[in-house]
Each structure stands twice: as structure tokens, then as C-alpha cells.
């Protein structure tokens, strides 16, 4: 079996989406609030900044993550531009949450195409969120690899 190196930028882009997704998870306990009701948990969209723990110095990215009733999370990487990530979330006690998102990536150079799983654990405090994430890359050929990191974010208001 040949070993494949994870494209760090792909892993970071994916991680951002996961981090963003986990931020929205915190709102799970608020029930079915209106989409424009920013006073209720995490319903709506958030701007998330994420940074991976490797390489040194850490790479930083940004994403918009939207919480959707029914346990669905959608994350859109915008700095740098990356893939759309989708997944599910669950709330935990004390404003904590978990999320899992999935995405894919095309082959790049000698790196084959594959899929990415992002696992998030976080906490909401008012209009701010923060936490940790783990991104695991599963190339179609070769060995899987993981990257961990942290995220923080704030609510994205419409006005």
C-alpha cells in the first residue's frame, strides 16, 4: 500500500467547516426558533475562525456555518476557498455540543481524491463559540491521516 501525504490546505479547509458546524450545534437545545431570531441559541449563521495545530506556524482559515433545525449543519469555507461540508450535530449539557461533517476533495498532483471527516466538540457562551476539532482524511489510495485544531466564532447578523 502506498502512503499518501495529506494536502495541508485541504485538511485545514475541511477543518474550518467542521469547526463552524460544531459552533452551530450548541443551539440544539433551543428548540424550533425562528430563523431570524438571533436571541435563541445558535439558530442562523456564524463566522468561524479555525487554526490547525500543525504545521508550525499553524494555518488559519475562515468559514460561514449555518445551523438548520432537525440537526443539520452546513459549512462553507471562504478564506481560503474550500469545499462545502455537511453533517449532523447534537447538543450536550452546559451549552456544549458535538458535530460530525463530511466532505470530499479532488485529486491534486500525486495526491489521490478522497473524503474527509470532521469531528467537532465545542461550547457556546452568549454570541461566541469555541472548541476543538479533528480532521481525518481518507484518500482513495494510501493511508488515512489526521490533523487537530481549535476554533472560535461569532454570530453573523443580517444587518
pLDDT, one tens digit per residue, over 105-143 is 988 898 889 999 999 999 989 889 899 999 999 999 889
Mean per-residue pLDDT for 72-88? Answer: 92
The per-residue pLDDT for 124 is: 87
The per-residue pLDDT for 71 is: 82
Supply angle C-alpha 59, 8, 77, rounded to 5. 65
The upper half-sphere exposure of residue 110, i.e. CA atoms within 13 Å in the direction of its Cβ, equals 5
The C-alpha cell that represents 135 in the structure block: 480532521
**Predicted confidence band at 42 (pLDDT cuts at 50, 70, 90)?**
low
N residues, the chain: 159
The per-residue pLDDT for 108 is: 87
Parallel/antiparallel/unpaired status of strands 96-105 and 128-139: unpaired
Delineate the domains of the chain, giving CATH numbers in brackets: 8-32+43-156 (2.40.128)
- Rg (alpha carbons) of the chain, rounded to whole number: 15
**Residue 19: φ, ψ to 5°:** -60, -45
Q: Is 70 exposed, middle or buried (0-12, 13-18, 19+ CB in 10 A)?
A: exposed
Asked whether the predicted pLDDT for residue 151 surpasses 80, the reply is yes
Amino acid at each position: 500500500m502506498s502512503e499518501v501525504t495529506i494536502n495541508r490546505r485541504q485538511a485545514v479547509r475541511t477543518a474550518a467547516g467542521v469547526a463552524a458546524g460544531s459552533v452551530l450545534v450548541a443551539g440544539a437545545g433551543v428548540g424550533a426558533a425562528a430563523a431570524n431570531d438571533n436571541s435563541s441559541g445558535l439558530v442562523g449563521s456564524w463566522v468561524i475562525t479555525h487554526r490547525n495545530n500543525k504545521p508550525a506556524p499553524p494555518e488559519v482559515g475562515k468559514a460561514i456555518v449555518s445551523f438548520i433545525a432537525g440537526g443539520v449543519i452546513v459549512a462553507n469555507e471562504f478564506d481560503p476557498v474550500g469545499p462545502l461540508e455537511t453533517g449532523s450535530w447534537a447538543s450536550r449539557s452546559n451549552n456544549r455540543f458535538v458535530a460530525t461533517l463530511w466532505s470530499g476533495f479532488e485529486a491534486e498532483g500525486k495526491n489521490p481524491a478522497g473524503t474527509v471527516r470532521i469531528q467537532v466538540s465545542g461550547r457556546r457562551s452568549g454570541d461566541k463559540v469555541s472548541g476543538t476539532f479533528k480532521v481525518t482524511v481518507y484518500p482513495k489510495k494510501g493511508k488515512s491521516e489526521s490533523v487537530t485544531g481549535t476554533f472560535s466564532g461569532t454570530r453573523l447578523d443580517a444587518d
